[in-house]
Structure 1
Amino acid sequence: MQKLNFPDFSFRFKNSENKVLVFDEIRKKFIVLTPEEWVRIHVVQFLIQEKNYPKSLINVEKVIKINGLVKRYDVVVFQPNGNIFLVVECKQTNVLINQTVFDQIARYNLTLKADYLMVTNGLNHYFCQMDFEKESYLFLNDIPNYNLIVK
């Protein structure tokens, strides 16, 4: 798999039925290693190892309903009080991060109401803080570490 713009993390792999699988610590199972999954597992390790978010507050690939349509978010981080702190949209490396991708995560966030958004293709990362009063987002250089969000 392609080297991503994240620190080096170690992963557990196995082969099954001519497919490479990678162990997902959050889902606690092996997942088929697709280009998007490669980005997603790096994001999870980034959140755990670099930003100190507890695994217990991270959720991966869950179904949500938006305007009657069933969608799946990539990664969500909860606050200890149960509110959603961060939504992450992962794309494979050959997907350009453009307005369409931001529109997608913004639609998800109409339902999820997270304070922060992250969009990444593994090479380029974009971080935003929501301003719900102005219905806009402010681009940031990074997202806060976990110890800064605990209230």
Structure 2
Amino acid sequence: MQKLNFSTYSFRFKSNENKISIFDCIRKKFVILQPEEWVRQHCVQFLIHEKNYPKSLINVEKELIVNNLKKRYDIVVFNTDGSIHLIVECKAPNIAIKQSTFDQIARYNLVLNASYLMVTNGLNHYYCQMDFKKECYNFLRDIPSYAT
């Protein structure tokens, strides 16, 4: 798999029927290793090891309903009160981050009401903080680390 713009992390892999799987420490299972999954797993490790978010507050690949359509978010980080702190949208490294990607995560946030948004293709990372009063997001240099 391609080298990404994240720190180096150690992962568990297994091969079955000529398919390689990577262990997801949040879902606690092996998942087929696709380019987007490679980015997702790096991002999970980034949140745990660089930003100190507890695994217990991270959720991966769950369904949500947006405008009566079933969608799946990549990563959500919760606050201890159950509200959503951060949504992460992951794309494969060969997918350019465009306005449509920000539109996608903004639509998800209409339902989830996260304070922060992150969009990444593993090579480029974008961070935003929501301004609910002005109904917009402001770009940041980074997302905040977990505060106990």
Partner of 2:126 in structure 1? 126
Deviation by residue 1:13-42 (Cα, 9 ceiling, x = unmatched): 000111000000000000000000000000
Aligned mates of 1:66, 1:104 — CA distance in 2 = 10
Q: For 1:94 and 1:31, locate their aligned partners in 2 and report how far apart those are by CA, in whole Å.
A: 20
Q: What is the identity, as a one-letter code, of the residue corresponding to 1:33?
A: L
Secondary structure (helix, strand or coil) at the match of 1:108 reads: helix
Aligned to 2:41: 41
Question: Deviation digits for residues 90-118 of structure 1, max 9, x if unmatched?
Answer: 00001110100000000000000000000
1:114 aligns with 2:121: no
Aligned to 1:105, what secondary structure does the other structure show?
A: helix
Alignment of 1:15 with 2:15, yes or no, is: yes
User: Over aligned residues, Cα RMSD in angstroms?
Assistant: 0.5
In the alignment, the residues of structure 1 paired with residue 63 and residue 84 of structure 2 have an alpha-carbon distance, to the nearest angstrom, of 15
Indicate yes or no: 2:127 matched with 1:137: no
Question: Which residue is equivalent to 2:86?
Answer: 86
The runs of at least 4 consecutive aligned structure 1 residues that moved more than 4 Å come to none
Q: Following superposition of structure 1 onto structure 2, how do residues 4-83 of structure 1 map, counting pairs within 5 Å?
A: 4-83=4-83
User: What are the ranges of 5 or more consecutive residues in structure 1 without an aligned counterpart?
Assistant: none
Q: Distance in 1 between matches of 2:136 and 2:146?
A: 23
**Which ranges in structure 2 are unaligned for 5 or more consecutive residues?**
none
Deviation at 1:44, TM superposition (A): 0.2
Tell me the TM-score normalised to structure 1 length.
Answer: 0.97
1:64-123 deviations in Å (ceiling 9; x for gaps): 000100000000000001000000000000111010000000000000000000000000
Aligned equivalents of 1:62, 1:123: Cα separation in 2: 24
Q: What's the TM-score, normalizing by structure 2?
A: 0.99
1:49 Cα deviation (Å)?
A: 0.4
CA distance in 2, matches of 1:46, 1:32: 20
Q: Among all aligned residue pairs of Structure 1 and Structure 2, give the percentage whose two residues are the same amino acid.
A: 69
- Over residues 113-142 of structure 1, what are the superposed CA-to-partner deviations in whole Å (9 max), with x where a residue is unaligned? 000000000000000000001000000000
Q: d(CA) in 1 for partners of 2:6 and 2:141?
A: 15
Q: Secondary structure at the match of 1:65?
A: strand
SS of the aligned residue for 1:146 comes to coil
